[in-house]
Structure 1
Amino acid sequence: MAKDKTQYTCNECGGSSPKWLGKCPHCNAWNTLIESVAESTAPAKNRFASLAKTAEVTTLADIDATDVQRTPTGHDELDRVLGGGIVEGGVVLIGGDPGIGKSTLLLQALDSLQRAGQKTLYVTGEESGAQVALRSRRLGLDGSQVSVLAEIQLEKILATLDHVRPAIAVIDSIQTVYSEQLTSAPGSVAQVRECAAHLTRAAKASGTAIVLVGHVTKEGALAGPRVLEHMVDTVLYFEGDTHSSFRLIRAIKNRFGAVNEIGVFAMTERGLKGVSNPSAIFLSQHSEPVPGSCVMVTLEGTRPMLVEIQALVDSGGPSPRRLSVGLDRDRLAMLLAVLHRHAGVACMDQDVFVNAVGGVRISEPAADLAVMLAITSSLRGKPLPKGFIAFGEVGLAGEVRPAPRGQERLKEAAKLGFSVAVVPKANLPKKNDKAFDGMTVHGVDRIDEAMELARSLA
């Protein structure tokens, strides 16, 4: 028998090489070439026929387009991230660490959709049908009529989709599916790319909404070629600490809604339950104000959330430490320099630790003012007043710049009972606005004004 020819495929870009190299010649990544069986040189007949549909050239004005119809999943937090619900013919890719709850949430969503009259299909390549049934009973989904198919061959899955015609189908997971057209193993770059392309085309042609579950690498990124994220309509990341009962779903890409939306869930014995007031998770429960604590309002997509920023300033050695959890460390170093230069608060010989409570990650610069007030409060050992919030971006010249959608941030804080706010002057609410009754809002232009104001209020 003739020996099968081998080639080396790059995990990062999908490029191939006839021999092993330390560096990929296509994307220059190191140690990414993996040996695989070379594809046959004979052209496969009609291999891409289903992907290349004929179409005529038309103008945008002549295309009859209406707003997409959305089907609620029965989980408000999941609907928020998706932009209102499942879209007909849409393809969603959801990734997350093993055991974080991807399959659990999708099984719950399919059960809710099925009970609402939608035809559903759960394709599992990692478990047997009995294991899925056992999980459904643990979740309290007794008598569930969700259809289950334990299969990993792409052609059989496509045939089942064409025969059953479900409204929503879940493929768990895309890394286990393989096509007979390719000789490489399931999970390889070529298999993931081609299987996802065929499933995406099937969704667009039939109107079935398909949810693909994806594995993640040890760095937390979705495994497989990057083109996988470009092919789908929506990319969701499931985040959370295994030691915590709370989970976050974050939308990274969404063709039918806003990106950077988050949904907050709590893991219970009966599966994942949506958290209607996530601000309560990210606020510590102090009976009295403590030094080094300042509450800010951050925006996650369209949702304003209150997050507590904690700072601890302690005497350090000849090389003081700068450590931040949930915030950018380089930005912390910049804020300390601005604090020294423009507000006269020196921390050059102090260790500075900053933490965003609850494990949330804050990437927007609107946290600057709250971070600087928390650092000053810890350094002086004086707490900020009860019911105090602050937000605003601080520039290198010491100016306090406005934060986007400041009115919504203030309304969220007022709704939760906060009474004192320090914000940029441009974010001051209009006079006679009854939404801010009971809240005193102070506007500042510079960081030294904010520090003087905080001292007078304390």
Structure 2
Amino acid sequence: MAKAKSAFVCTECGAEYRKWQGQCSSCQEWNTLSEVHLASARPGGGTTPGRSGYAGDLSREVVDLGNVDLSEVPRMSSTFAEFDRVLGGGLVPGSAVLLGGNPGAGKSTLLLQTACKLAQQRRILYVTGEESLSQVAMRAHRLQLPTSGLKMLAETSVETILAVAERENPEILVIDSIQTMHLEDISSAPGGVAQVRESAAALTRFAKKTNTVLLLVGHVTKDGTLAGPKVLEHMIDASLLLEGGADSRFRTLRGQKNRFGAVNELGVFAMLEQGLKEVKNPSAIFLSRQEEQAPGSLVMVVWEGTRPILVEVQALVDESALGNPRRVAVGVDQNRLAMLLAVLNRHGGLFTGDQDVFLNVVGGVKVLETSADLAVLLAVVSSLQNRALPKELVVFGEVGLSGEIRPVPSGQERIAEAAKHGFLRAIVPRANAPKQAPKGMEVIAVDKLSDALDAL
């Protein structure tokens, strides 16, 4: 009997070590090393499922890069336009897609709706490791989905799943979830570092070999990151995150990694009694504003992927009773808020060092780009002066440390989107101002923060 070999793998960055140590030398995190039992070599040169055996299924032919076929990879629609948008145009045969999210976000619901609709015209195998077949059937009946044609399997053994998949030859294989899968050769419990890594490697290897679309459901940790070893994200082709709390009926699907499309696309869904329904016009749901305009409220135009979205930002500035005033930001970077307040003090002449500043982006949207800078500052000024801004005003632009207003990408499209929703006035960077404003809209071009404050 060959002696079983083991290694220690960091759950944060995937670095491997021969022996245990308290701190990972790669990511500098403490107590993140877990023992992984390595698969031993089989007679004849093969290996058991694992990282070392992955390269055996790839082509060994050496080709010139100029001779590689550049024909478009055929994609299949998921029946959801928002889902296809985030994927980059649809599902790619042979790809591995990981869908993560908090409990109750709707991961299983989204994939079950997709599988039931696609099963009417394609071969689908849905593997559930967390629920029984009756539970899945009850959910499908409650969501009023077509159930005929969808092949179901309640199993957690990867070897059994691969054997059934070889027999059924599906075009799409759904695994719900990867944390419940296990391999017989790995001694650790399901959900551990070794099991998640090796199970995902075996399933991904099967998908590449048979040109099958692999859809994996993944759990997240309490801080919202994907549970399991970091190397799992390197194995797959696309990593998607379904966000949305239990108190909100809207869900946002955002791409974190995509080898077949852009990673900054955003899909919006509404959770209804019949399951997830895609929102064709996200700006409409994020602009459900009150009739009477309140101080500190302002609409901005952010760019998500290939389209502009209008969202409302709210600011509340109040006198602080603490020695260290609070800076709370929901939906934007808190460090960037502190930087913008310093710019407002230096170049705008408005002091907020003795005030608590609270900022919120309505609808649970997370703004990752810098085009929201000017809107954030003007919302803070509105609350600080206790004066409401015009309801028909829309603002976007990046603010530099010297108080200049910098242009942002796709400025013309942002202005056109605002005009389409009935906004009559826009404050934008001068470089983004169009030669001819949309009919009925006044576009105010500014160069400095002081110019934007004067325009108010």
Match of 1:290 in 2: 294
- The 5 A counterparts of 1:36-435 are 38=37, 43-45=41-43, 46-47=46-47, 51-53=55-57, 54-115=59-120, 117-317=121-321, 318-431=323-436
Alignment RMSD: 2.2
Note if contact 1:167-1:209 (Cα within 8 Å) is conserved in structure 2.
yes
Unaligned runs of 5+ in 1: none
Q: Following the alignment from structure 1 to structure 2, what is the Cα–Cα distance between the partners of residues 303 and 180?
A: 47
Which residue matches 1:444? 446
Q: Which amino acid aligns with 1:244?
A: S
Report the Cα distance in structure 2 between the residues aligned to 1:366 and 1:402, rounded to whole angstroms: 8
Residue 167 of structure 2 aligns to a residue whose secondary structure is helix
CA distance in 2, matches of 1:61, 1:33: 43
CA distance in 2, matches of 1:365, 1:5: 49
Whole-Å separation in 1 of the counterparts to 2:73 and 2:5: 48
The Cα of 1:371 is off from its aligned counterpart by 0.9
Letter of the structure 2 residue corresponding to residue 201 of structure 1: R
Change (3 A) 1:149 1:65: same
| Deviation of the 1:27 alpha carbon | 5.3
Offset from partner CA, 1:41-100 (integer Å, 9 cap, x none):
x53342255641342111122222311111111111111111111111111011111121
1:234-275 alpha-carbon deviations (Å, 9 max, x no partner) = 110111111111111100111111112111111111111111
Secondary structure at the aligned position of 1:397 is classed as coil
Q: TM-score, normalised by structure 2?
A: 0.92
Question: Normalising by structure 1, what TM-score?
Answer: 0.91
2:8–2:18 CA contact under 8 A, matched in 1: yes
Amino acid paired to 1:359: G
Relative to structure 1, is the Cα distance of residues 167 and 4 closer, same or farther in structure 2, using a 3 angstrom cutoff? closer
- Counterpart of 2:102 in structure 1: which amino acid? D
Local SS of the residue matching 1:358? coil
Q: CA deviation at 1:158?
A: 1.3
CA deviations on 1:83-121 (whole Å, 9 max, x unpaired) are: 111111111011111121101110000111112x11111
The count of residues paired between Structure 1 and Structure 2 equals: 445
Aligned partners of 1:10 and 1:353: how far apart in 2?
Answer: 37
Displacement of 1:32 after TM fit?
Answer: 2.8
Question: Cα distance, 1:186 vs. partner?
Answer: 1.8
Where in structure 2 are there 5+ consecutive unaligned residues?
none
* Paired amino acid for 1:229: E
The alignment partner of 1:79 has SS state of helix
For 1:230 and 1:11, locate their aligned partners in 2 and report how far apart those are by CA, in whole Å. 13
The letter for the 2-side match of 1:351 is D
Q: 1:392 to 1:184 in 2, by over 3 A?
A: same
State the secondary structure of the residue aligned to 1:272.
Answer: strand
Percentage of matched positions with identical amino acids: 54
**Is the contact between residue 117 and residue 145 of structure 2 (CA under 8 Å) also seen in structure 1?**
no
Rounded Cα–Cα distance in structure 1 between residues aligned with 2:440 and 2:28: 60
